[in-house]
Structures are given as structure tokens and as C-alpha cells.
Amino acid sequence: MSGNQFQFIDSQYSTPQGSYYDNTGRMGVGGPSQDSFENELPLLEELGINFDHIRAKTLSVLNPLKKIDSHIMDDTDLGGPMFFGLLLGFSLLMSGKVQFGYIYGLGLIGCVSMYFVLNLMSEKGIDIYRVISVLGYCLLPMIFLSFTSLAININGLVGYILIGVSIIWSTYSASKMFVKVLSMIDQRILVAYPVALLYTGFALITAF
């Protein structure tokens, strides 16, 4: 084969100058685009962890009297609830109580039960992830109660008052989110009752 034939084959199958192949195998002209890297979401957001959403939901629990947006639970954020569950277990661990199994066991039973109750009561329906998100964020008053028990004895009159306030606070915040998202304002008491039972269980774990 002559030298001219080698040059012909090489020019036929080589990539033209200034061209490249992308990850789909198609040939483009010029250098790789930087927009594909600049427009990518941060890793935490791709994993479903959005600190802005966590902050907004936490503030809505801390201030239950504040009006909340009906779209506050549009995303299924589970990062906050998992963190609050671990924080509650850690606070109990500091007082000598290893209750991680009880916390997540009671939480699982409560979330599944509320999922069925809410879907039976509501026409719109709700998925299990949003139920976990709401109930997990509203654990915040129980965390305050648990850390308070490190400083004072809550097995007395003052402690019982704090336990009652924590249960009411968590119940009010969670039922407010549920009825807002599911448009169940007239059924708030019916929603609040099973929620109150769940947080009473968490309060008993914290106190005893």
C-alpha cells in the first residue's frame, strides 16, 4: 500500500480539527461546553438535602403561630427528620438512656399509621415521605424537652408542665402543616388526635 493510500485512510477516519466527541458518542465542534458543569445542581441538592428548605421548615415549627405556605411540603426532604431523630437520641444518650431503637421504631409505626389515616381522610392524598418529613421536623420541641431534662428534673410538676407544652407544641405544628397541605381545615381536630398520641409516646420516652 502506497504512502498516498495511508494518508487517505488517516484523513478519512480521523476527527476533524477543533471537534470532539461528547458522552453520547456524537461529534461536536469546538471545545467541551462549560455550561453542562455550571448548570449542574450541588451534590447535596441532588441527594435531596436543601439547607434553605430545612431552615424554612425548622422556622415554621419554632414559630407555630406564623402563617405557613401551602407549598412548604412540596419537596420530600428527609435530611432534617433524620438529623432531628439522631439529635433526640443523642440528647437521651447524654442522660444515660440508649433509646435509638425506640425512637425510630415508634417513629416508623407512627408515620405508617398517619399515612393511612391521612389518605383515608383526605381527597388529595399524601405520600409517606411527606408524612415522615412533617412528623420528623415537629420533633423539635421534644429535642428541647430532652436537653432541658439534662439541666432539671422533669419528673415533677414543672417537668409535667414542660412535657404537656412540648406535646401541644409538636401536635399543633404537625397538624397545622397537614391540614394546610391537604386542605383539611375543618378536620384539624381529627388530624391532631393521632398526632398527639404519637408525640405523647416520644414524650414518655424522653421523660422515663
In whole angstroms, give the CA distance from residue 34 to residue 102: 49
Helices (H), the chain: 3-13, 35-38, 43-46, 51-62, 79-94, 100-121, 128-137, 140-151, 157-182, 188-207
Confidence (pTM): 0.73
Q: Are 115 and 131 in contact (CB under 8 A)?
A: yes
Residue pointed to by grid coordinates 494518508: 7
Regions of the chain short of the pLDDT cut 50: 3, 5-13, 15, 18-21, 23-25, 27-33
Please give the pLDDT value at position 8.
44
Domain regions of the chain by residue span: 78-207
CA–CA separation, 57 and 7 (whole Å): 67
pLDDT computed for residue 61 by the predictor:
86
Predicted pLDDT of residue 136:
92
Q: How far apart are CA 80 and CA 108, in angstroms?
A: 16
Residue 186 identity: D
Instruction: Indicate the residue type of 27.
Output: M
* Per-residue model confidence (pLDDT) at position 116: 94
How much is the pLDDT for 6?
46
